[in-house]
Chains A and B, each alone.
Chain A
Amino acid sequence: MVLRSPLFNIQKNLGAKFTKFAGFEMPIQYSSIKDEHLTVRRSVGLFDVSHMSNVWITGKDAEKLISITTVEDASRIGDGLSQYTAILREDGTVIDDTIFMHLVEKYMIIPNAGMATPVTKWLNNKANEHNLDAKAEDVSRDFVILAIQGPKSRDTLQKLTDIDLNTVKFFGCQYIDIGGVHCIISHTGYTGELGFELQVTPPKEAEDLFYKILDAGKEFLIKPIGLGARDTLRLEKCFILAGNEFEGGRTPLEALLSWTINWDHDFIGKDVLLKQKEQGDYERLTCLECTDKGVPRHGCEIRNDEEKVGVVSSGTLSPCLNKGIAMGYVNPEFREVGNILEIVVRNKSVKAKVVKAPFVKKDWAQQY
């Protein structure tokens, strides 16, 4: 069965082309990926990301359940704050990366598309195993998720609410009325730009809101944005796409998520990570910028002098840099910044330089 966003018809009327992604039929683009991409970097764009999941975690031990099952110590994350984290298996590999929001007495987590069922099951099993009074409930179909991203995102949304959005700090979250719709707002996103995400329920409420946001952003030339640009925007900032970067089982250390790990608490998979950290000799996600013409793609081999030293997990042409960019897992001895490697694109060798993340620096648009 293919699922559709409750906003499918609105998007169709706006000229969207659709693609299947993780069981959903979602807009891949409206005008063009490049155009939409630059719109978000320079001004503001509106995304429907309802393919992502919503899971409530409730009960008096909800905080404990999150702390045990993620690399974050949830007691650090007070009411009105959210956190990006990862849920691990016992062997230290990532089940899913997610944001959790602390909203008064409960938590909402946002697993990736198609991950609501396995994540909910996993959390409820762990709650049982550890005798916790906590319950995970998949409510994905009750919510539409909208993302408003870009330097003009705050100015756009500010027209639709009385609450001063400057008070919603980076990674802050709270209930809010926007355009007459009661929803959850968080100062989060997947583009590396100023941005907000809205959790809207019931889904019907999102129909009017979608148009209201487009209307409010008119003076900034707001556009609806598809998943194509969502992918190029996140890749320029070296944000992980679960299906690509965790493929085959990867630990957060390998996936460059060590910054998310809070070592001062106990969590599932911690012992394996400690061992891996000590050994130090593991493949790590590496950022490669092509110096030759060519577009690296998922699965392309990375070589050093004809020898395979890694594989591309995500690749594209960067609309901002107009160069091929890729993230891939590379043998540690070859991933030094400045090192020149080759990416094999359709049997041709394309030279690429190891660079520091992100590919596109903050405030890129101000220089152009």
Chain B
Amino acid sequence: MVELREDLRYTEAHEWLKIQNNIAIIGITDHAQAELTDIVFVELPEIGKELKKGEELCVIESVKSVSEIYSPISGKVVDVNKKLDDSPEVVNESPYDDGWLVKLEIKDKSEIDSLLDVKLYKQILK
């Protein structure tokens, strides 16, 4: 059974965002990690990098595949999950907590409004 969290926002590309004031913590959903399985490498952006919505945020590699994760919103990278350098499998084990990817400083709050809530994301998974 795929785990979902009520307090998160989602995208059709199976990312989640946790909004805390002007910071968005971004990760991939439980569904996404289960589809990828065996995450072996996460390439994270440089801190300070300015990203437009839709630009490449990071790259996640499983044994078999390479997946680009695109930034769901515009913003500046203020932190990355350095733990993933040595333990990329944490994304599989804890996609919503220890396996977060990037923290972005939100540039345009209106972009948050167009993200999916848990109900809509649930529809996509059906």
Interface residues of A (CB under 8 A from B): 28-29, 32-35, 37, 228, 231-232, 293-295, 297, 316-317, 319, 346
Contacts and interface: CB of A to CB of B under 8 A. Distances in A.
A28 B38 contact: no
Contacts of A228: 63-64
Interface in B53-87: 59, 61-64, 66, 85
Instruction: Give the interface size bracket for B toward A.
Output: 10 to 19
B38 A32 contact: yes
Nearest first, the 6 A-B pairs at minimum CB distance are A317-B40, A33-B63, A32-B37, A34-B38, A32-B38, A228-B64
Pick the most buried of B43, B62, B64, B66: most chain A CB atoms within 10 A of its CB: B64
Contacts of A297: 66
B41 A316 contact: no
A231 B59 CA distance: 22
Q: Is the interface of A mostly helix, strand, loop or mixed?
A: mixed
B38 A33 contact: yes
Given A293-B85, A317-B61, A346-B59, A29 B37 contact: yes
Nearest to A37: B63
Interface string B32-55: 000001101101000000000000
A295 B64 contact: no
Contacts of A232: 63
Nearest to A297: B66
Nearest to A34: B38
Contacts of B38: 32-35, 319
Contacts of B61: 295, 317
Contacts of B62: 33
Contact of B41 (A28, A34, A231, A294): A294
Contacts of A32: 37-38
Contact of A34 (B59, B63, B66): B63
Contacts of A346: 43, 59
B41 A295 contact: yes
B64 A28 contact: yes
15 contacts: A28-B64, A29-B37, A32-B37, A33-B64, A34-B37, A35-B38, A293-B85, A294-B41, A295-B40, A295-B61, A295-B66, A317-B40, A317-B41, A317-B61, A346-B43
